[in-house]
Amino acid sequence: EHDPVIRAACPLLAAAAASVGSPQIRSRATLGGNVANASPAADLIPALTAVEGKAVISSRSGIRKAEILELVLDAGRCALILGFEVPAFQTDTCWAFEKIGRRNALAISRMNGAAAFELADGRMKNVRLCIGAATRSPQRFRTAEALLEGNTPGTELFRQAGGAVSEEILDKTGIRNSSQYKLPVSADFTVRLLENAMRRE
């Protein structure tokens, strides 16, 4: 949350870390613990995914690097994490981390997400959009990313991406009691996430 190197090189990760628990919890907690808990609502999994971080993990076959989403084997199950490697942001990176909770502080996410992309000649490139607490485990929303990739950012494009996210959640989870709330919220949440990322151009 406060490390000057992280705040300068990867501010999205610092912002996500600042959303976890209380100051007392954050003074004891670790990135690895938040990820290894493998909760669908873990705040740092979308952030680490959007910044294209890698985890260094240990298994019977030895030590290797893995994508963050590979670690979450199922809700509550995760590989043994030794550390993380996180690339520094490019100077033209737009980014945002957002969460929805029942209250403003000390809230488990009802939905969270991170977005990062670069702008080249006014067009979005290398789009990463990861949302948690909407499906069984956090995931990248590839259809929405493909809609955004190479296009000029704007509200209408962001609404299309939000619709794609909502449709993919429905496809993954089916109709549930929470769908009436979660599906429209996920679309609006995606729009807000992308608009806030643009404000950090």
**What are the tens digits of pLDDT across the range 88-121?**
998 899 999 999 987 666 667 889 999 999 999 9
- Cα-based torsion angle of the residue sequence 167, 141, 137, 64 in order, rounded to the nearest 10 degrees: 160
Output the pLDDT for position 22.
84
Output the pLDDT for position 75.
62
| Low-confidence stretches of the chain (pLDDT beneath 50) | none
Output the pLDDT for position 124.
98
Q: Is-contact 159 138, C-beta < 8 A?
A: no
Output the pLDDT for position 180.
81
Output the pLDDT for position 105.
60
